[in-house]
């Protein structure tokens, strides 16, 4: 479509005719209007308003037969009117999810577009909203093609990630204290000598047997 448009409407015509037209146009714009022409021009209030042509709305073309029309007509009448609003909503949602600020994000554009098109289907006009993973054909597909889990780094928000990092750093600083190190060494030695793990396991085995 873009190539056809550029072929019909060239952006930078280089032919002599185009240059001649541009020169004549500039000359017509720069040429001053004579006083005789100005005086002979009719006044604005004397112009008959009924003589002016009235722009009539062009009738909307009838949709072609989807079975016999060309691929271009099928796209223009049956695909783009439905797909373009979905792509606009997709861009708004991607902006909300901050997809344009980072290289990695949990937002999956194909999932959102599938969910949007499914819920905007005129056949489901009176039905309630259905989430992506609750769509029947999506559930059937994921049974045979399960997805890998999303990394935790993509699921956490910036605030949640900062809390985890700060808590780990505070724990690291506490464990570096000499008294804490001495306590940890004593606990390790106690576990090795008294077999604490084995004793605890035996204790719970007896409790479960009761």
167-183 tens-digit pLDDT: 999 999 998 999 999 99
Considering the chain, what is the average pLDDT of its residues? 75
Nearest to 110 by CA among 126, 130, 125, 94: 94
Using an 8 Å Cβ cutoff, are 96 and 109 in contact?
no
The structural domains of the chain, with segments of one domain joined by +, span: 67-148, 156-203
Nearest to 167 by CA among 178, 175, 155, 177: 175
pLDDT score at 102: 77
Residue 201 has pLDDT above 80, yes or no: yes
87 vs 35 pLDDT, higher one? 87
Who's near 16: CB < 8 A, 6+ residues apart?
Answer: none
pLDDT score at 101: 84
- Residue 42 is given by DSSP the state P
pLDDT score at 154: 82
pLDDT score at 114: 92
Q: Is the dihedral of CA 93, 97, 98, 100 positive or negative?
A: negative
């Amino acid at each position: 479509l873009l190539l056809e448009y550029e072929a019909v409407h060239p952006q930078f015509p280089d032919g002599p005719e185009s240059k001649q037209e541009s020169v004549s146009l500039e000359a017509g714009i720069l040429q001053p209007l004579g006083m005789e022409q100005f005086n002979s021009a009719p006044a604005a209030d004397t112009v008959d308003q009924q003589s002016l042509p009235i722009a009539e709305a062009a009738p909307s073309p009838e949709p072609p037969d989807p079975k016999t029309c060309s691929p271009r007509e099928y796209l223009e009448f049956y695909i783009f009117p439905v797909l373009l609003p979905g792509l606009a909503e997709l861009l708004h949602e991607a902006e909300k999810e901050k997809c344009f600020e980072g290289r990695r994000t949990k937002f999956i554009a194909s999932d959102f577009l599938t969910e949007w098109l499914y819920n905007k289907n005129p056949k489901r006009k009176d039905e309630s909203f259905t989430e992506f993973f609750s769509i029947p054909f999506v559930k059937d597909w994921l049974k045979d093609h399960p997805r890998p889990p999303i990394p935790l780094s993509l699921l956490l928000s910036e605030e949640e990630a900062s809390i985890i990092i700060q808590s780990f750093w505070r724990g690291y600083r506490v464990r570096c204290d000499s008294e804490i190190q001495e306590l940890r060494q004593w606990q390790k030695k106690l576990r090795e000598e008294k077999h604490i793990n084995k004793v605890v396991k035996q204790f719970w085995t007896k409790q479960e047997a009761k």
